[in-house]
């Protein structure tokens, strides 16, 4: 009690104070502060203890404990269930994506079509055929798509390490792709391709919903609803599934024991291997001869690069998408750098200046019409073909009076867009990597501002300086989107808005006639008060070569010692060439009546794939890759009647056309055209000989001299090799490099 009392009432003596003096207050010490702070929470701690001891809190704690116990006792889903679910979801994804390529057919007279035909032609019927061809035709392309999507599924599973979460993500990705693909096919008749993703990365993703047509809105709404429910179910299953991770993995204390180390290593290895497998497959799919290319081919994949919609329909949208995801453009030249390109540009600028001092005209003084005449060639040049009537007398006569010769084509029976790309850009397919099969689909979609010769007229007259016509569908070879990048003001086609004006056919031919195609060009020339660059790709002589034309005199004129089947195709083809010959002569006569300077670059892109006998002989490889071409100017042109020396123009490749046209027109050139002129003078023709049929062509690069003889690369002159090296540097800079030449005036005509 004394102690307590002393604590409570200290005496004056104990406190050391003088009762007779004024007391100085003591300064509180840190220890006193800590003691007080420790005493302050006591009421709160007491209240918290009381709260936790209350009945509701006790019940809540028991509930939490029960849930924790219950979660610990969750049953683990067996891996077999994962496999079953994965197979079902993967199969559903393949079917949904493939379904997006089909649409329900319409019939002018539904009563005239039997129910069986309607059933097979329906979207469900086409989808059934796509799957059933595994058994009916031993074509396993459905299985291929299943396995490829399975790779994507596995990547998600091993990277996320949560099966049900990965399933939800996979379903969202594939369903979104299927819906978007269906809408794009409906709107533009082409599937989703990798370059479309640039629309999202450019910040325009919010505008996508504005492209959804009203009749597709139910599909979008239904898919969203389905995905919401599927996601909820998957998340619930993830909570219920006692196997939280597909592969046991511990971030915290990863080396606690051997079991943990093995689990962690397994998870990392599985994720890395799955990503590597998918990456390797995609990276190599577009490369002819690669492991993924061969594997896909063994399961029925048949690349149809001339049309993405056809490729996606027959091989699956997944295969079409991945095929275009990566293509090796070309190897980087060892001496490629800014200094090298600046020196190269300076050298050709000086050379172009010297050339231009001797030339009086400009390219833009004239309208230039570049005509790719589909499959145009001389049938009588094909070995084994004998006709008693010349199918192209007018053009043969013309070739004697104007710049003309033979063009070395990369393909037989196909590859139109490759020859067209060379003619418009000046780039050579032979300088690209051999895995590059179609620049229009594998290169141009990934380029921001590719250079093409029509831009010379755009620079002079604005966006209306160039226009294009193609009397077929605009999605072929992605022309619609590619031509926009090239700077053409418009591509007029059968399905453009507005469509191409003249669409006449000859007899029962399914294609627009050349006469109608030429009339569209004439209308454009007559309706413009300035010159322009006009691109025309015709269709009249496109395969198949059935009996379309009445009064075909070549059935009697064909005395070839060939099979009746082969002769039938040749006779029908010869009739089409005969019609083109007359239509072209009429077109040039009409141009002669135009009081405006016009120059025409006319060429056939390749021979038709109808000469089965001739193509069996490897000695015919070269002649089967040569088509006719000419460059002609009307009477209003300063270059009317000009014919370049056959030593210069006798043998060419399509990448040289604009350089030759400038020489024919005595027109000034850019440093780029100057380089192409010099290359053509040293190496008149260069081409990679390929074909739509693996047995045609030898797949090698052919170099021709001025007489059309094949020259080996090692036998080229030192100057030719230097020019070829310059060409390679320029092509790399234009297609894959840094674009040093874009800002150096290399493409400007001054």
Residues 288-346 have pLDDT tens digits of 788 999 999 999 999 887 778 888 999 999 999 998 888 788 999 999 999 999 999 99
Token pair listed for 718: 């030192």
Alpha carbon distance 437, 477 (integer Å):
12
Position 10 pLDDT exceeds 80: no
Rounded alpha-carbon distances, angstroms, from residue 486 to 100, 139, 448, 456, 674 = 30, 39, 10, 11, 21
Distance separating alpha carbons of residues 223 and 185, to the nearest angstrom: 17
Higher pLDDT, 140 or 262: 140
412 and 692 Cβ atoms separated by less than 8 Å: yes
Q: Is 480 exposed, middle or buried (0-12, 13-18, 19+ CB in 10 A)?
A: buried
pLDDT digits (tens, 9 = 90+) for 144-166: 999 999 999 999 999 999 999 99
Q: What is the predicted pLDDT for the residue at 35? A: 47
Alpha helix (H) residue ranges in 413-563 = 416-425, 439-442, 455-461, 479-486, 514-526, 554-557
Inter-axis angle of helices 79-99 and 141-160, to 10 degrees?
130
pLDDT at 743: 84
Q: Is the pLDDT of residue 45 over 80?
A: no
pLDDT of residue 601 exceeding 50, the answer is: yes
Tell me if residue 250 falls in helix, strand or coil.
Answer: coil
Question: In this structure, what token pair is assigned to residue 301?
Answer: 């994949």
Q: Tokens 């990369």 label which residue?
A: 410
Counted residue by residue, the chain has a size of 750
C-alpha span between 646 and 658 (Å, rounded): 17
From the list 389, 388, 386, the residue with the least C-alpha distance to 560 is 386
Q: pTM of the prediction?
A: 0.76
What tens digit of pLDDT does each residue of 402-424 get?
Answer: 999 999 998 888 889 999 999 99
Task: List pLDDT tens digits, range 678-714.
Answer: 999 999 999 987 654 433 344 578 999 999 999 999 9
Query: Rounded distance, CA 23 to CA 10, Å?
Result: 14
- Separation of alpha carbons 460 and 670, rounded Å: 14
DSSP string, 681-704: HHSSEEEE---SSTTSS-SSEEEE
The predicted model gives 506-535 an average pLDDT of: 98
* pLDDT for the residue numbered 696: 35
pLDDT for 418 equals: 93
Compute the mean pLDDT over every residue in the chain, rounded to the nearest whole number: 88
Closest-CA residue to 191 (of 210, 211, 177): 177
pLDDT for the residue numbered 324: 85
Q: Which domains does the chain have, with CATH numbers?
A: 79-323 (no CATH), 366-721 (3.40.720.10)
φ, ψ of residue 535 to 5 degrees: the values are -105, 125
Categorize the per-residue pLDDT at 517 as very low, low, confident or very high, splitting at 50, 70 and 90: very high
pLDDT band per the 50, 70, 90 thresholds, residue 728: very high
Apex 109 CA angle, 106 and 113, nearest 5: 80
Per-residue pLDDT band for 670 (boundaries 50, 70, 90) equals very high
């Amino acid at each position: 009690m004394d102690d307590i009392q002393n604590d409570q009432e200290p005496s004056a003596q104990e406190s050391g104070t003088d009762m007779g003096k004024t007391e100085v207050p003591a300064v509180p010490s840190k220890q006193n502060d800590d003691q007080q702070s420790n005493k302050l929470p006591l009421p709160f701690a007491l209240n918290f203890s009381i709260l936790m001891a209350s009945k509701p809190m006790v019940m809540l704690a028991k509930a939490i404990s029960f849930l924790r116990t219950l979660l610990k006792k969750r049953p683990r889903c067996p891996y077999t269930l994962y496999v079953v679910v994965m197979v079902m979801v993967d199969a559903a994804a393949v079917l949904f994506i493939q379904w997006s390529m089909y649409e329900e057919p319409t019939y002018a007279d539904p009563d005239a079509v039997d129910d069986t035909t309607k059933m097979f032609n329906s979207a469900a019927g086409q989808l059934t055929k796509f799957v059933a061809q595994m058994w009916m035709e031993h074509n396993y392309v459905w299985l291929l798509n299943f396995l490829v999507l399975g790779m994507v599924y596995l990547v998600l599973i091993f990277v996320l390490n949560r099966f049900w979460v990965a399933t939800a993500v996979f379903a969202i990705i594939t369903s979104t792709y299927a819906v978007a693909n269906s809408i794009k096919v409906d709107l533009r008749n082409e599937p989703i391709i990798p370059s479309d993703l640039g629309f999202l990365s450019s910040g325009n993703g919010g505008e996508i919903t504005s492209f959804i047509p009203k009749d597709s809105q139910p599909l979008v709404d239904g898919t969203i609803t389905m995905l919401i429910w599927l996601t909820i179910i998957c998340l619930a299953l993830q909570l219920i599934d006692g196997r939280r991770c597909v592969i046991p993995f511990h971030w915290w204390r990863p080396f606690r024991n051997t079991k943990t180390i093995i689990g962690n290593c397994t998870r990392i290895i599985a994720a890395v291997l799955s990503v590597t497998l998918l990456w390797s497959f995609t990276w190599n799919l577009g490369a002819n001869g690669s492991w993924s290319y061969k594997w896909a081919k063994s399961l029925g994949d048949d690349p149809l690069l001339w049309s993405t919609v056809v490729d996606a329909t027959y091989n699956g949208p997944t295969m079409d998408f991945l095929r275009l995801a990566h293509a090796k453009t070309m190897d980087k030249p060892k001496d490629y750098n800014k200094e090298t390109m600046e020196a190269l540009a300076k050298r050709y600028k000086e050379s172009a200046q010297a050339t231009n001092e001797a030339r009086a005209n400009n390219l833009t003084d004239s309208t230039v019409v570049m005509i790719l005449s589909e499959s145009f060639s001389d049938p009588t040049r094909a070995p084994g073909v004998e006709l008693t009537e010349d199918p192209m007398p007018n053009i043969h006569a013309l070739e004697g009076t104007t710049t003309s010769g033979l063009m070395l084509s990369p393909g037989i029976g196909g590859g139109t867009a490759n020859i067209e790309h060379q003619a418009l850009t000046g780039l050579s397919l032979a300088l690209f990597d051999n895995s590059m099969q179609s620049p229009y689909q594998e290169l141009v979609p990934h380029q921001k501002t590719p250079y093409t010769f029509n831009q010379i007229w755009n620079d002079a007259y604005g966006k209306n300086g160039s226009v294009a016509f193609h009397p077929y569908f605009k999605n072929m070879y992605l022309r619609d989107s590619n031509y926009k990048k090239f700077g053409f003001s418009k591509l007029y086609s059968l399905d453009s808005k507005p469509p191409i004006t003249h669409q006449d056919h000859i007899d029962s031919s399914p294609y627009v006639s050349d006469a109608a195609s030429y009339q569209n060009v004439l209308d454009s020339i007559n309706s413009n008060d300035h010159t322009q660059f006009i691109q025309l790709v015709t269709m009249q002589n496109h395969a198949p070569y059935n009996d379309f034309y009445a009064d075909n005199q070549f059935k009697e004129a064909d005395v070839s010692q060939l099979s009746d089947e082969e002769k039938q195709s040749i006779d029908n083809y010869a009739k089409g060439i005969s019609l083109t010959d007359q239509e072209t002569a009429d077109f040039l006569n009409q141009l002669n009546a135009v009081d405006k300077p016009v120059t025409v670059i006319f060429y056939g892109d390749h021979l038709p794939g109808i000469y089965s006998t001739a193509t069996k002989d490897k000695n015919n490889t070269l002649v089967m890759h040569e088509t006719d071409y000419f460059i002609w100017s009307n009477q209003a042109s300063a270059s009317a009647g000009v014919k370049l020396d056959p030593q210069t123009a006798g043998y060419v490749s399509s990448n040289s056309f604009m350089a030759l046209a400038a020489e024919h027109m005595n027109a000034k050139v850019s440093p780029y055209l100057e380089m192409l002129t010099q290359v053509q003078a040293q190496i008149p023709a260069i081409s990679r000989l390929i074909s739509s049929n693996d047995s045609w062509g030898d797949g090698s690069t052919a170099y021709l001299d001025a007489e059309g003889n094949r020259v080996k690369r090692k036998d080229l002159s030192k100057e030719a090799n230097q020019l070829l090296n310059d060409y390679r540097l320029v092509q790399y800079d234009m297609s894959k490099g840094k674009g040093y030449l874009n800002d150096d005036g290399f493409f400007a005509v001054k």
